[in-house]
Amino acid sequence: MTQYALVVEIAQYDNSFGSLTKPIDDAEAVVNTEKFLLVVDEFEKVFTVCIDKEERQRFIELLTGVVEIHDSRLAVVITMRGDFLQSCLDNPSLTQLIQTPVVVIPPLTGVDFKETIAKSAQLQVHSVEEAGALKILQNLQQEPGNLPLLKFALTKLWEKREQKKYQLTQEEYENLGGLTAVLNLHAENVYHYQDYEKEYPTQERSQQEKEWIKQIFLRLVRTGEGEKDTRQRQPKATLLNIAGDDANQRQQLSELLDGEAGLAKGRLLVSEKDEKGEVWINLAHEALIESWQQFAQWRQQDRDLRPLSETLENTRREWLNERPDDKYLIQKGLLAQVRDSWQQLQPDLQSLQQDEDFYQRSDADDKDRIAEMEKALTESQLREKAARVDDLLPLQPLDSLVLAIQAMGENQEKLPQQILASVQNSLNRVVNKARVSIPFCGHEGNVSSVAISADGQTIVSSGTDGTVRLWNYQGLPLAEPLRGHQGNVSSVAISADGQTIVSSGTDGTVRLWNYQGLSLAEPLRGHEGNVSSVAISADGQTIVSGGADGMVRLWNRQGLPLAKPLRGDKNDISSVAISADGQTIVSGGADGMVRLWSYQGLLLAEPLYGHEGNVRSVAISANGQTIVSGGADGTVRLWNRQGLSLAEPLRGHEGNVNSVAISTDGQTIVSGSDGSTVRLWNRQGLPLTEPLRGHEGNVRSVAISTHGQTIVSGSTDGTVRFWNHQGLALTEPLRGHQSWVYSVAISTDGQTIVSGGTDGTVRLWNHQGLALTEPLRGHQGWVYSVAISTDGQTIVSGGSDGTVRLWNLQGLALAEPLYGHEGYVNSVAISADGQMIVSGGDDGTVRLWNRQGFALAEPLRGHQGFVNSVAISADGQTIVSGGTDGAVRLWNLQGLPLAEPLRGHKGWVYSVAISADGQTIVSGGDDGTVRLWNLQGLPLAEPLRGHEGWVYSVAISTDGQTIVSGGEDGTVRLWRGDWRAWLQVCCDRLRYHPVFTNPQTEEAKAACETCQKYVWSKVSG
């Protein structure tokens, strides 16, 4: 741009131009000139050659700015072709200036042309034959833009001149073929032959050379609007890219451009060097654009694509100038055009590899931006669905459940790496609160009673239509209705083997049937009035009945009474049930109470209160631990043997709940009510088992094995206990500690258990509860925490002496004690690779160590008080800590916080754990709750409540689906741990529901597909 800058520089400096660096050859002459003229010839090239729009505008403004300089020494004259006047009018800087001082030079005509030709010849001592001149003039009038043609034709005519006569003749002109023919013929010869200078050439060019010539010429022309194309020069280096990277091919192309038999030698192209020494190639004649017929045909082929290729290349150059600013990449509309035409564009691109790289980067950037927008839109839609789940839950639980499943499936499909906290939360809430059932329809009137077989495959129901009906799990009838009662059938029961059905009714009888509907005995009589309820023992030998006479009666299969009638309610006995072992009888009556009796007729507990009105039906689980009741208040309720409620009342029936039953595994409840409906419920969403009881003291620590099947607990009663996933003790309690067991850990293979206690020892046990070594001694005080490496070879312990210690399985110290904490070390953890130890203590710091005892980073500070617990993720990148300030904190290895402190606990956080995938954090505290969080610090579920007192310890299984907690109440509790477990619960609830067996909405279909893909197919697989 120094040439452009010269215009203003000269105009503004009156005395000195010393700052200029000789932009023109005779700078001294310019300096000493009072006034001078700057001529800008072929100004149209500003529009046809200059690619950079900003550079073009700057140049125009420099030129036009001269007008604004008062008493300027500089005058500027611009010359250009008249057909580019419109381009000037489109530029605001030029529009005003060309209104008055424009001089329009009309085309040469008639005498002017003749004189121009003749005088040019005279200068070379030649004449022009009059007839020849007239013929040339006639042709000129037929050809627009004729000067370039005339120039070329006269050159050829000069070569064919009559040298003896020193004359240009009409004969020679006509032999050339006229203005256009002469140029066309010459170009065709150069195109087809290497020896084009001969009158009869024979050395034909190869097909490769011809293809190169086509590409060269198309790149040397700028496609204009309509038919108006113009020349544009190109660097030779750019044209050589046509031959690709092959050195031999590039050399051949170079020879074709400006070699001995090349296009420049043939006067179709010109080659010139700029001030930097770079070689540029251009069309030798503007007339070639229209007059070479072959070239004209090439230009019509894919004409619409060439401006696109030029725009693409210009955009790439602009991007290179602004790099690395991606806002200059190909954008939207242009990118769409390039995508649609990419294959067709490639042959016309001057720098194919660079243009392709640019296109691909633009395409990738566009796709990334679209993906980001789609991701944000998906997140917004999923959060909206999660909010709708919460809105629907109280009044439309079925719709809420379907939507929660569908939203989770959509999240998993569209954002598999980021399961949103709001989606997980909504799924957790429907697990706990959305109770749905499968309606069975067939009775003509109210359903008075239901029962379910031990294998859960056969459901029995009875009604006011006087029938007993049998159904399968999907709600299809298994047999014709059983008829025999004279009036309403009040109650039904089915034996454990599914072969005996018992029924009772308003006719005062109890009846026994087989599976085929045949009567097994004479009706059992004894009650006065309606027999409201019947039950049968697991072995099928004892039948229990209760009636309007307030009596509970026991019978054998032959119809004989087994004991005196049991009396407890002054009103009607609405329902009875008997435990699998035949030792416990349950009854419910009009006084709204549920009673438990022994086989001998003694009350086993205080009556169970809760129903508002008549208790119309009761049932008891096979293990005798869960009682189910249904009443006139429309609710189904679950109790334990101590009379405590196990869940929120199950609501859904409209009217009286007349009958309830529970499957052998205690997981499926069946209920029937007014309105002819039978409903199935499960009790999933509650804790996985009853609390694991056995410790005689606080449970201070829990751990769970990798496969999730073994739970270990340690207590202030000095014992370590093993449990299976069902809550059963696996061995006798491990005894050895002389006081409290403060911490336990279990190896990845489940074969080694580590415990530490207030007796200052660390102890190792095998799976059978036998000590593996002598107690590990070294701590001067209590051992508060223990951990074991993934390979089971390294044990870490921390204690009240402020040290962290490392041991091998033989009980030998692996390093000197690690000192650094000021006060007790309350918690330790070890990374999966065994190379990093994490500790937390009373000094409020979290510290990182290597196996040699050296600190890996500055202490992590942030807690306002003691650090009670630490954990480290499986990949070793995330540290979790919890403390007396009630906060859970996440840190990276450099000690920087990964999120705001996680707050929710009301009081101290005693224990933290992190799932194997690092996505779920679990915490337990003195508010009695267990809480789940994601890495962003958002809660994933409602707080898990159940402990009576502080929660001292939490752990999570490797698959993340089971959480274990231990607390002050001496219990160990198991909970469902993540969305995968919750999704399985929700899917199983609807597996046989009509909303899945016959989905009617797109939402229901999507939810069903989610269950099939992510739950049922994996279970079956």
pLDDT digits (tens, 9 = 90+) for 834-853: 889 999 999 999 999 998 88
CA 669 from centre of chain: 38
Q: What is the pLDDT of residues 194-213, one digit of tens each?
A: 988 887 889 999 999 999 99
Is 735 a residue whose pLDDT tops 50? yes
pLDDT at 293: 86
**Distance from C-alpha of 229 to C-alpha of 184, rounded to nearest angstrom:** 17
147 or 276, which is more confident = 276
pLDDT at 864: 93
How high does pLDDT run on average in the chain?
Answer: 82
Q: Which range has the worst mean pLDDT, 177-191, 313-327, 649-663, 989-1003?
A: 313-327
pLDDT at 15: 35
What is the DSSP code (8-state) at residue 606? P
Q: Which residues contact 487 (CB under 8 A, 6 or more apart)?
A: 466, 505, 506, 507
pLDDT at 355: 75
Q: Which range has the worst mean pLDDT, 23-37, 757-771, 820-834?
A: 23-37
Instruction: Tell me the three state secondary structure of residue 475.
Output: coil
Q: What is the pLDDT of residues 493-521, one digit of tens each?
A: 888 888 889 999 999 999 988 878 788 88
User: Whose structure tokens read 């200068």?
Assistant: 123
Is 10 a residue whose pLDDT tops 80? no
pTM for this predicted structure: 0.54
What is the DSSP code (8-state) at residue 810? T
**Distance from C-alpha of 244 to C-alpha of 246, rounded to nearest angstrom:** 6
Q: Give the model's confidence band at 689: pLDDT under 50 very low, under 70 low, under 90 confident, else very high.
A: low
Is 591 a residue whose pLDDT tops 80? yes
Is 865 a residue whose pLDDT tops 80? yes
3-state secondary structure 634-687: CEEEEEECCCCECCCCEECCCCCEEEEEECCCCCEEEEEECCCEEEEEECECEC
Q: Which residues contact 4 (CB under 8 A, 6 or more apart)?
A: 58, 59, 62
pLDDT at 884: 95
Nearest Cα neighbor of 440 from 175, 678, 633 is 678
pLDDT at 683: 58
pLDDT at 386: 93
pLDDT at 320: 74
Q: What is the pLDDT of residues 21-70, one digit of tens each?
A: 334 444 444 445 677 788 888 787 777 666 667 777 888 887 777 777 77
Q: Which amino acid is at 746?
A: I
Q: Give the model's confidence band at 797: pLDDT under 50 very low, under 70 low, under 90 confident, else very high.
A: very high
**Which DSSP string corresponds to 326-378?**
GGGS--HHHHHHHHHHHHHHGGG-SSHHHHHHHHHHHHHHHHHHHHHHHHHHH
Is 287 a residue whose pLDDT tops 80? no
Mean pLDDT, residues 180-197 = 83
Q: Give the model's confidence band at 908: pLDDT under 50 very low, under 70 low, under 90 confident, else very high.
A: very high
**Distance from C-alpha of 275 to C-alpha of 22, rounded to nearest angstrom:** 13
Is 758 a residue whose pLDDT tops 80? yes
Q: Which amino acid is at 462?
A: S
pLDDT at 79: 86
Is 146 a residue whose pLDDT tops 70? no
Instruction: Tell me the three state secondary structure of residue 473.
Output: coil
What angle in degrees, to the nearest 10, is found between the helix axes of 146-159 and 110-122? Answer: 30
Two structure tokens written together for 492: 């039904």
pLDDT at 866: 95
**Distance from C-alpha of 594 to C-alpha of 643, rounded to nearest angstrom:** 9
User: Whose structure tokens read 């502080």?
Assistant: 950
979 or 805, which is more confident = 805
Q: Which range has the worst mean pLDDT, 88-102, 693-707, 754-768?
A: 88-102
287 or 895, which is more confident = 895
Is 567 a residue whose pLDDT tops 90? no
Mean pLDDT, residues 75-93 = 79
pLDDT at 822: 92
Q: What percent of the chain has pLDDT over 90?
A: 22
Beta strand ranges found along 95-138 (DSSP E): 127-128
